[in-house]
Amino acid sequence: MTSTALPTTEDLRGRARTALERVGVSVPDGSGLIARTPITGDHLFELAAATPADAEDAIAASRAAFLTWRTTPAPRRGELVRRLGELLRDHKSDLADLITIEAGKIRSEALGEVQEMIDICDFAVGLSRQLYGRTIASERPGHRLAETWHPLGVVGVISAFNFPAAVWSWNTAVALACGDTVIWKPSDLTPLISLACDRLLARAAEDVGAPRDVHRLLLGDRAVGEKLVDDPRVALVSATGSTRMGREVGPRVAARFGRSLLELGGNNAAIVAPSADLDLAVQGIVFAAAGTAGQRCTTLRRLIVHRDIADTLIARLTAAYNKLPIGNPFDEDTLVGPLISPAALDTMQSALARVQAEGGKVLAGGNRRLAEALPRAAYAEPVIVRVDEQSEVVREETFAPILYVLTYDTLEEAIALHNDVPQGLSSSIFTRDQQEAELFLSAEGSDCGIANVNIGTSGAEIGGAFGGEKETGGGRESGSDSWRAYMRPATNTINYSSRLALAQNVSFL
Ligand code: NAD
């Protein structure tokens, strides 16, 4: 199915301008950075890209703001995040419009992304009263050992196009509550939503009397990101994007002994066991594999199905895929919007050609859509490909809606296949057998940062820590105790006796 009503670029430009004006941004004029929409593939505005001097100014201002922000009591820092959350609620629809226009997300997912931002603000407000350290039993009489957590400094946030606002909010809400200041280098594919978020945070800072420079925005390409990567005044670089990017950023930050938090690519799989509830599995798989047009880091890319149920499950999945409405993401009926760019479509088609050359069989989808009506956009049918083995192409992350289906006979074999990829982000098992579920979640089960039962790989809640192992980078963001990455612990030994006792019974003097 294809949604027929298509917006014009002029409609989208007008809608973007209205959303921006409602949050308080007048569309800036400049040069060096093009804002475009994947819905039609056309340019919307030309904006100013940050210069090296802008990056220097932002780092100096952010560092200066940190010196006062770090001593502002944490619950008062939380007030800034609370106000940001209120403004996000007020402008939920405007922000969702910008996400759809720039990233191509369908309306419900774009609203969901803004909801996630609101949720993390609520979480970080609570966190501002819960930056707990432990008290440790001392081996010495009259002594107390304690752990104190202090703000870290300037946090550089580098983010990807596919969660153009939520990733910023996960980092920023938590970092601000922890007493850090933030410089944001968003994807150059999504500058408009970035301007809107920056403006709302500036308004929140004005409203609560926080320094404006607790947050700075630098629009531009990777060269701007590299300034944050290399500058020793940036204490933590939190970088979300491809493994290729992480491979460059990680060692460069480490070379100056900075900290990095890497959230990189995934190659997520689900195992479907013979006892699985197939109604539930089909729903979970289709959302995880075809939702967001396959452009989530947690998108389901590999399905490992028990041989006895493979034909039944594949028949149900292909039937569902053949009915997926593809097209205008603003249309309430659409479930699959555009890929981010024609280059992304080329990458998808070349992965499909490779896997077919190896004997992979396309079972549903895979064609380009709307090429005549929107030749500069990239709409594609999500595709299911049956493969006999986990070849090189299957083991790569292709950032497009391709679902590879493999079969297994024993759960041990399924888990081995599951873990035999370089990435380690998200995973799931569909089963009604408790032993199987627990084995999958155990130390000899999934090797991912996220392991689910009877739910797909995508769509995490903010309350849990988010991130993955191996080439996914090892970072954790968002909930649980991820906040510790944004602070530095100090161990304090306090002697409240009048005797100097040395540890380990050492005697001296
Ligand atoms: P990308 O790697 O092309 O770009 C991500 C960001 O890094 C952009 O802001 C880019 O300008 C910047 N960048 C690139 N090279 C850089 C360098 N050498 N130094 C400094 N900055 C640099 O990724 P993308 O295409 O925007 O996003 C898709 C990728 O992101 C996928 O691989 C996806 O899995 C991953 N992703 C991961 C997570 C996660 O939490 N694990 C979340 C979202 C997206």
Task: Name the residue with the closest Cα to ligand 1, atom 9.
Answer: 187
pLDDT for residue 4 is more than 60: no
Q: Whose CA is nearest to atom 42 of ligand 1?
A: 297
Q: What angle do CA 214, 217, 219 make, to 5 degrees?
A: 170
pLDDT band with cut points at 50, 70 and 90 for residue 283? very high
What percent of the chain is modeled with pLDDT above 90?
Answer: 98
Indicate which residue of 79, 102, 116, 263 is catalytic.
263
Q: 223-245: string of b/e by CB count within 10 Å (b at 16+)?
A: ebbbbbbebebbbbbbbbbebeb
Q: Which pair of tokens denotes residue 405?
A: 């289906």
Closest atom, ligand 1, to C-alpha of 158? 9
Which residue's alpha carbon is nearest to atom 26 within ligand 1?
160
| Residue 263 CB less than 6 A away from ligand 1 | yes
- The response to whether residue 163 sits with its C-beta less than 6 Å from ligand 1 reads yes
3.50.50.60, 1.10.10.10, 3.30.420.40, 3.40.309.10: CATH of 268-465:
3.40.309.10
CB of residue 316 inside a 6 A radius of ligand 1 = no
Q: Specify the CATH architecture of the domain 9-264+473-489.
A: 3-Layer(aba) Sandwich (3.40)
Q: Ligand 1 within 6 A of 425 CB?
A: yes
**What average pLDDT does the segment 471-482 reach?**
97
Q: What is the pLDDT, as a whole number, of residue 470? A: 98
> Hey, what amino acid is at 481?
D
Which amino acid is it at 100?
A: T
Please list, residue by residue across 6-25, b when 16 or more beta carbons sit within 10 angstroms of its beta carbon and e when fewer do. bbebeebbebbbebbeebeb
Task: Give the pair of three-digit tokens for residue 43.
Answer: 């340019």
CB 83 within 8 A of CB 214: no
Distance (Å) from CA 228 to ligand 1 centroid: 15
Q: What is the average pLDDT value for the chain, to the nearest integer?
A: 97
Average pLDDT (36-53) is 96
How far, in Å, from the CA of 93 to the mean position of ligand 1?
26
User: What would you report as the CA-atom Rg of the chain, rounded to the nearest whole angstrom?
Assistant: 24
Within 215-277, residue ranges assigned H as helices are 222-230, 243-255
Asked whether residue 2 carries a pLDDT value surpassing 70, the answer given is no
* CA dist 139 → 144, 491, 504, 509 (Å): 9, 15, 8, 20
Q: Tell me the domain boundaries of the chain.
A: 9-264+473-489, 268-465
CB 248 less than 6 A from any atom of ligand 1:
yes
Main-chain phi, psi angles of 451, to 5 degrees? -135, 120
Query: Tens digit of pLDDT for each residue in 368-402?
Result: 999 999 999 999 999 999 999 999 999 999 999 99
399 lines ligand 1 (CB under 6 A): yes
Nearest alpha carbon, ligand 1 atom 15: 245
Say yes or no to pLDDT of 403 above 80. yes
Using the atom order of ligand 1, give the atom closest to the CA of residue 243: 32
Q: Give yes or no for residue 482 CB within 6 A of ligand 1.
A: no
Ligand 1 centroid to Cα of residue 397, in Å, is 13
453-462: average pLDDT: 96
Q: Which of 188, 190, 222 to mutate to test the pocket of ligand 1 (most atoms within 8 A of CB)?
A: 222
Instruction: Answer whether residue 433 shows pLDDT above 60.
Output: yes
Strands 383-386 and 361-364, bridge-based pairing? antiparallel
Helix (H) or strand (E) holding 434: helix 434-441
244/184 Cα distance (integer angstroms) = 20
Q: Looking at residue 81, what is its pLDDT?
A: 98
Active site residue 263: yes
Ligand 1 atom with minimal separation from the 297 CA: 34
The answer on pLDDT for 494 being more than 90 is yes
pTM to 2 decimals? 0.97
CA distance readout (Å), 36 to 3, 101, 103, 188, 329: 21, 8, 9, 10, 15
221 touches ligand 1 (CB under 6 Å): yes
Q: What is the mean predicted confidence (pLDDT) over 470-487?
A: 97
The pLDDT value given to residue 265: 98
pLDDT, mean of residues 435-444: 98
Q: What is the pLDDT of residues 174-187, one digit of tens each?
A: 999 999 999 999 99
- pLDDT over 70 percentage in the chain: 99
Ligand 1 centre to CA of 156 (Å) is 14
Mean predicted confidence (pLDDT) in 84-96: 98
* pLDDT tens per residue, range 124-175: 999 999 999 999 999 999 999 999 999 999 999 999 999 999 999 999 999 9
For residues 78 and 210, give the distance between their C-alpha atoms in angstroms, rounded to a whole number.
Answer: 11
**pLDDT computed for residue 28 by the predictor:** 73
Question: Of all atoms in ligand 1, which is nearest to the CA of residue 221?
Answer: 11
At residue 1, the pLDDT reads 58
Any ligand 1 atom below 6 A from CB of 214: no
Q: Which residue has its alpha carbon closest to ligand 1 atom 35?
A: 241
Cβ of 423 less than 6 Å from ligand 1: no
